[in-house]
Structure formats: C-alpha cells, structure tokens
C-alpha cells in the first residue's frame, strides 16, 4: 500500500488545506495525475500523484488543514489492495482481502447532528466535522451550525489577500535562509556582445511568436555550467545531497506583488526553443497561481533575473533546501577594457549566493567561469 502525503511545496510551508479531492476510492491513477487541490500561502496548487495504482482510502476531509507529511490517502499498488495500511493515527491493520473480494473504502467520519443542522450546514458549506455540538450527547444543533457559519464569515473577511500571503511566505523562507545558511557571495561581469549578436541572427529564422529572449541563454548557460560544477546542484539535508536532474527554479514576479518560483525540469537537456516554450507555459500560470505541486517543489537551484529593470546587479538569498542561487542584473552598456583597448559593451553582472556548508569560493568561482564561457560561445548552447 502506498501512502500519499501532504507535500512540501517550499521551505516556508508547514501545512496545507485540502480544498478538493479530484478522485474517489476505486479510481485508477497513474504518475502525473492531478488528484487533489491544496491551498497554501501561495494559492491553490494542483497536487500530482507519483505512483500508479488504485485509490484505496481518502483519509483527509475537504477543508481540513494538516501538517506537511500527513498521510492524506492510501493507494493500492496495482489493483490488489492487499498488505498493510497505515492508518491516520499510525495504527497498523491488515487489509488481507484477495483481489476478487477487495472493495475500496473511505475512512468513516460519523457526525451526530439534527436534520435541520445538517440542512443548514449543507446550505452554508459548513463541514460538520469541524463543528462542536452543544446538544444532548454532543449532538450538533442549528445554533451550533449558525455560530460556525458566522465565525467562517469573519475569518474570510480578515484573511490576508493573496499578494500579502505570498509576501509572507517568501519572507518566512528568506528569514529561515538567513538564519540557517552561511551564505557567501561572488559576482562577475559578463560581456554579452557575442551572445546578443548570435541571438539576433537566430531570431531571423523564427517567427515573431517563436523568437528567443536573452533570458533563455542565461538559463541554458547556468544549466550547462552545473553539469561541470555539480556541487552546486542539489539540497542540504543533514549534508549535501547531489541531484542528477538539473531543475532550474525561475523567479517570476507577480503583477500584484510577490514572487513564485516554478521549476523548469531538465533544463540542461532542453534546447533553447524548448526553454522558451517552457517559460511561455509557466509564466502566465504562475501569475494566475495555477501551478502544479511538482513545479514548486523540485527546483535544484534558483535563477533570478531582473530583465530590463535597469538595475546593475541583484544579490539573492538561497531558497532552502537548495545550496545556490544565481542572479542576473539588467544588460547595461558599460566601458569594457580588453587587450589594452577600451570599448563600450553590453554587460550583464552575474552574482552567486552559495551555501558555505556545501561549497567554498573556489567552487562558486568555477560556476561563474563556466557561465561566462558558455555565453561567449552561444552557438554551443
């Protein structure tokens, strides 16, 4: 039996509220299926399943808030539904049913309430499991439901707007990062003349909607540099844990304020056109707060780019449990000295924030060197 747990969608997340089950007991699921919608400080998130089987039990009620890691459902591996199931309170019980006799079940939640209380609860969308009964024997009365509805209305009125919630979530993650991670910082100026000239020629072969932006060169350069400096691709979890997949978390500013950081998976293996397509896919969904759980929880390093903000550089804060963040300022024309000659070049300043527990300045310098080298040979990207 496979446990489906409340996922962690960032270092700042401690709990999530289940808003809707999209499956029921007996449904077949496969890897990548969206089976639930969970609300966090970052909004409503589609939750994927990463196993194949049949839904056996749903252990969490809709509108219930539970800590990260809580067992939300049980999925039978295949269709047998046999073996041991881990119940909500950690008690083990044998299911022991052969496949021909197995029937999917949902965890029982019995409520003692008057018919009128049940009707009012249904009308006002109140979960009776959350209401304390004051009637005889603990039964829920009409007054109990109306009191719960009034409390819910007050909470909805004082609930912080989405933008404020996101800012609070980011602030919590950054505070944790500053407290726990010994940062070191490096920066390097990079001549973008060759990269931009190559981009102009490459875009001549593309339609307007297919044209590449400079940011895809930056993403690919970082991804390829990480193949040469893998010490900065992974997580710090009681020691450094290297990740083979290079999943670039790309910081996206929201129009209403705040930041979302979805992942571009296997960025080193994607072509520049595929990276552009990925950006065009995730940016509008991030701004609409309609991202998938796998896009928020699998980044192995983060990139933040100021684009055309005209700020020369940005110093980032590592997003735990990652160990590095690469920042790019705006491309600005600056004096450039080379071989005794002075010129004016389009220059971008790359910065690196890295975890001193995992690496040191020599390792970080190598990453910036490789990023620079690839941007001087954009045809290799």
Could you give the CA distance from residue 38 to residue 62 in angstroms, rounded to a whole number?
A: 9
- Model confidence pLDDT, tens digit, residues 304-336: 999 887 789 999 999 999 999 999 999 999 999
Could you give the CA distance from residue 21 to residue 193 in angstroms, rounded to a whole number?
A: 52
Q: Which of 7-16, 56-65, 164-173, 252-261 is predicted with the least confidence, judged by mean pLDDT?
A: 164-173
Could you give the CA distance from residue 117 to residue 142 in angstroms, rounded to a whole number?
A: 4
For the cut 50, the answer to whether the pLDDT of residue 81 exceeds it is: no
Mean pLDDT to the nearest integer, 28-39: 90
Is 0.75 surpassed by the pTM of this model?
no
Four-point Cα dihedral 168, 174, 180, 182, nearest 10: -170
Domain ranges within the chain, ordered by starting residue: 2-94, 115-158, 165-380
Place of tokens 């970082």: 222
Could you give the CA distance from residue 181 to residue 148 in angstroms, rounded to a whole number?
A: 43
Q: Which of 10-14, 201-205, 225-229 is predicted with the least confidence, judged by mean pLDDT?
A: 10-14
pLDDT band for position 98 (50/70/90)? very low
Residue 47 has, within 13 A of its CA and on its CB side, a CA count of 25
CATH number for the domain running over 2-94: 2.40.50.100
* Inter-residue contact 362 to 184 (CB < 8 Å): no
CATH number for the domain running over 115-158: 4.10.320.10
Could you give the CA distance from residue 175 to residue 282 in angstroms, rounded to a whole number?
A: 26
Could you give the CA distance from residue 281 to residue 304 in angstroms, rounded to a whole number?
A: 18
pLDDT at position 111 is 65
pLDDT at position 108 is 41
For the cut 80, the answer to whether the pLDDT of residue 155 exceeds it is: no
113 or 360: which carries more pLDDT confidence?
360
324 or 119: which carries more pLDDT confidence?
324
- State phi, psi for 70 to the nearest 5 degrees: -65, 135
Fold of 165-380: Chloramphenicol Acetyltransferase (3.30.559)
Return mean pLDDT, the chain. 85
- Positive or negative: CA dihedral 264, 325, 195, 214: positive
Helix (H, G, I), strand (E, B) or coil at 249: strand
């Amino acid at each position: 039996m496979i446990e489906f747990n409340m996922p962690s969608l960032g270092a700042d997340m401690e709990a999530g509220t289940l808003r809707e089950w999209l499956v029921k007991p007996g449904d077949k699921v496969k890897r990548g299926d969206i089976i639930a919608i969970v609300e966090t400080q970052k909004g409503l998130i589609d939750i994927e399943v990463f196993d194949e089987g049949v839904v056996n039990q749903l252990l969490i009620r809709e509108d219930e808030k539970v800590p990260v890691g809580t067992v939300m459902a049980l999925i039978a591996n295949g269709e047998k539904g046999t073996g041991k199931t881990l119940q909500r309170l950690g008690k083990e019980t044998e299911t022991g049913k052969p496949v021909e006799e197995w029937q999917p079940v949902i965890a029982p939640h019995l409520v003692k309430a008057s018919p009128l209380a049940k009707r009012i609860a249904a009308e006002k969308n109140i979960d009776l499991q959350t209401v304390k009964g004051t009637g005889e024997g603990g039964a829920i009365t009409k007054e109990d439901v109306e009191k719960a509805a009034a409390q819910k209305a007050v909470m909805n009125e004082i609930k912080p707007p989405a933008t404020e919630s996101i800012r609070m979530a980011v602030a919590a993650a950054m505070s944790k990062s500053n407290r726990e991670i010994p940062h070191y910082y490096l920066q390097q100026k990079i001549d973008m003349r060759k990269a931009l000239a190559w981009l102009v020629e490459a875009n001549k072969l593309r339609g307007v909607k297919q044209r590449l932006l400079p940011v895809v060169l930056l993403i690919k350069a970082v991804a390829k540099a990480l193949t040469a400096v893998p010490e900065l691709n992974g997580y710090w979890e009681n020691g450094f844990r290297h990740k083979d997949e290079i999943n670039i978390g790309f910081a996206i500013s929201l129009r209403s304020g705040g930041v979302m950081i979805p992942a571009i998976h296997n960025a080193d293996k994607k072509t520049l056109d595929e990276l552009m397509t990925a950006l065009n896919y995730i940016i509008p969904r991030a701004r609409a707060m309609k991202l998938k759980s796998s896009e928020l929880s699998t980044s192995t390093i983060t990139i933040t780019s100021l684009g055309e903000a005209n700020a020369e550089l940005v110093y980032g804060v590592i997003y735990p449990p990652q160990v590095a963040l690469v920042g790019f300022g705006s491309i600005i024309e600056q004096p450039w000295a080379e071989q005794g000659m002075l010129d004016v070049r389009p220059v971008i300043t790359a910065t690196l924030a890295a975890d001193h527990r995992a690496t040191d300045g020599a390792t970080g310098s190598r990453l910036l060197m490789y990023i620079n080298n690839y941007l001087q040979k954009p045809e290799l990207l």
